[in-house]
Amino acid sequence: MIKASEIIANTEHLVEPRFEEQYQALIETCKRTLPSVDEELLRRAFLFSYHAHKDVQRKSGEAYISHPLAVAQIVAENISFDDVSVAAALLHDVVEDTHYSLEEIRAWFGSTLETVIDGLTKIGGIFSSRELGQAENVRKLMLSMASDIRVILVKFADRLHNMRTLKSLDLPRRLKIASETLDLFAPLAHRFGLFAIKSELEDLATSILHADEYDAVVRGLQETSEEREAFINSFIGPVRERLQQDGFDFEIYGRSKNVYSILRKMKMQDKPLDEIYDVFAIRIVLSADGSRGKEDCWRVYSIITDLYKPLPERFRDFISVPKSNGYQSLHTTVLGPRGRRVEVQIRTQQMHQIAERGFAAHWRYKEQVTQSDGKLDDFLTWVRDLLENPRPEAATEFVKEFRLNLYHEEIYVFTPRGELLTLPNNATPVDFAFQVHSEVGFHCIGAKVNGRMVPLSHRLTSGDQVEIITSKKQTPNPDWMNFVVTHKARSRVRHWINEKRRKTIELGQDVWRKRARRSRVEADDRALQRAARDLKFPNTQQMFYELGSGLLDPRELVKVLKEGVDAPQESDEPRWQDHFESFLQSAHETGRPGLLIDGELHTDITTKYATCCNPIPGDDVFGFVSKTGAISIHRFTCRNATHLLSTNADRIVQVEWSRQKDVQFVTALRIIGEDRVGMMADITTVISKNLKTNIRSITVDSEDGIFEGTIVLFVSDLDHLHRLISRVKRIGGVHGVFRFEEVGDEA
């Protein structure tokens, strides 16, 4: 074992030629991409890491040092923040995986690198822990960002290289890491503006989680590559000629969208690949920067729209109003040759670097682009705001809101003074009010949008000018939680509601103590819990809340404690959820085709179909082994899939549907449409007569001329179900047809 002092003191330790070559390639990349390079620092970090990991191999069989070298190369090439982040990449696993300590890192590399390595070490194991909930993992990741932004930058590179080399791991581990990557790291890279890393993470994760669909799109793109290339050239030719004539210094090329984006578009539009036309975009990158560059972008836009007819509704100006992650570009969609829609992106070289490398590129361009100086600070402010008032009991909602703020589409609205605010799509005046200031949000009583009074639930759109009307007597309304979308608004309103509830419970306890003294009733906690159950309350807290709210007469509680009374009966009014529960019971009582578990047909293993997603043959599924040994079958699109894949990878098994013919199984459709005469007759005719499908039951509710119903029916496979949905959608007056999904959580 070589001591740290020996490594640092003697920089001539022998290094294998192949790793020396990789290191020299890294230095060349750093010189090309970084604003400055401390070669002595990087050399010492490389030697330290090389000897710390010497004789250790990865699961792929490679020497371990290949990993930190690859991570450092990604940091230098794709992020290009600074040389300290590259050194941190070289050292990122030293403390976690070897005998060297943080004290030695600080002694030989200084406090800054110690802070980064400490952050990376702390978050290094949280995603493999089975004891920590995922929300706590997210919080720790965010805390590490707030301490030093380099921590998350190196973590992105680490995750990307791990995804590139994932094939050496077993299936459960691959599924866990891929699911976590798609669910958290890709959206987070998007929020940082790291487009290239985000796109590659999405594609690599999709190739594992949805391998068949991914491979089908890749094959389809390869089969049409020559035709697509010819079309791109025919579009680019006239543009290149005009730009050259006008003396522009530029690059122009066609860029295919990543497979993940294409798959999402196919699913959202319910179309096959050959009907998705915007699978690529034309990008024009101009050499000029600064104010001259912006002017040139608009001049190029004018040339494009002279050559091809633009679609005004598809124009986006992200130069005048950049995205919150710093992205700048002009986007327009035009009708190209043969009437095909083509997206064109116009930007300067500087904008392009920021688009690919996000916040990290702002560091490099800081002196030239003063308007971007605050972008990183704004992001860290957002991180710290999300961390305020964390509530352990709201872990799931915390993570949900975190992801919402990562991957949202943005709108741009103005204050009465003309100041610009960026908000998520579907934001309301209440979200706007809290964005201005918490006190404005707490006391907002009304809003004017473009000079017109609107309800507080009104959805804002880009370009709106919003004026908030406040009153000192106004307090947050719990109904606001039904429509606000920003984390800041939701957390502030929720905190107010919880605080009000706490005070009401305390008031209820005080009311009860006074009534109990007057009635000479003594009741301990156990007696009060029994009384709460008798009165049909879920717990004593809710009982005291209703006492404090005046909804429960304390005399009723006295009566229950003294004498005991018959419990109030629940309403016999049918609930919509009951329809689904009835459907689930019948669905799971019906015979299902067999399953291949790890490639083999097992008859001695108990399997059940998860009620949270009700999988059917043809669905992309996986198995989750319960503590009793039974296997629960889930769809990969199930709302519980991410949690199971991320936290219980060792209990995941590969499952496929066996090929059995003439098997019918129960599923359900949820249909919404106009409540017109003959509607149900039209629907049942299409299902029963036209598509020869047996209907098991129909349930319909109607209100204000709109009906909503469920049809439980027998289908043979997923293709059969898709044909049904497609055909019913074409019936006049039908607004939506959906596969019936359960709303609640799985027990």
Among all residues, which ones are annotated catalytic?
Answer: 96-97
CA distance linking residue 137 with residue 401, whole number of Å: 15
Q: Cβ–Cβ contacts within 10 Å for residue 286, how many?
A: 25
Residue 480 is given by DSSP the state G
**In the block, residue with structure tokens 């473009």:** 450
Record the tokens describing residue 641, joined without a space. 């899939």
CB 646 within 8 A of CB 134: yes
Question: Could you give the dihedral angle defined by the CA atoms of residues 536, 539, 540 and 542, in that order, rounded to the nearest 10 degrees?
Answer: -80
C-beta separation of 355 from 329 below 8 A: yes
Which helix (H) or strand (E) covers residue 45, if one does?
helix 39-52
Residue-wise burial string across 528-556, b where 16 or more C-beta atoms lie within 10 A, e elsewhere: beebbebbebeebebbbbbbbeeebebee
Bridge pairing between strands 250-256 and 330-335: unpaired
Could you list the beta-strand ranges (E) of 216-360: 250-256, 280-286, 309-310, 316-317, 330-335, 341-348
DSSP class of residue 316 equals E
Half-sphere exposure of 383 (CA within 13 A, CB side): 22
CA-to-CA distance for 661 and 640, rounded, in angstroms? 30
Instruction: Report strand pairing: 316-317 vs 420-424.
Output: unpaired
Token pair in block for residue 90:
């070289």
Report d(CA 203, CA 214) in Å as an integer. Answer: 8
Q: Give how far Cα 572 sits from Cα of 316, 569, 586, Å.
A: 53, 9, 22
Q: Among all chains, which residue has been given the structure tokens 């990158």?
A: 285
631 close to 606: Cβ distance less than 8 angstroms: yes
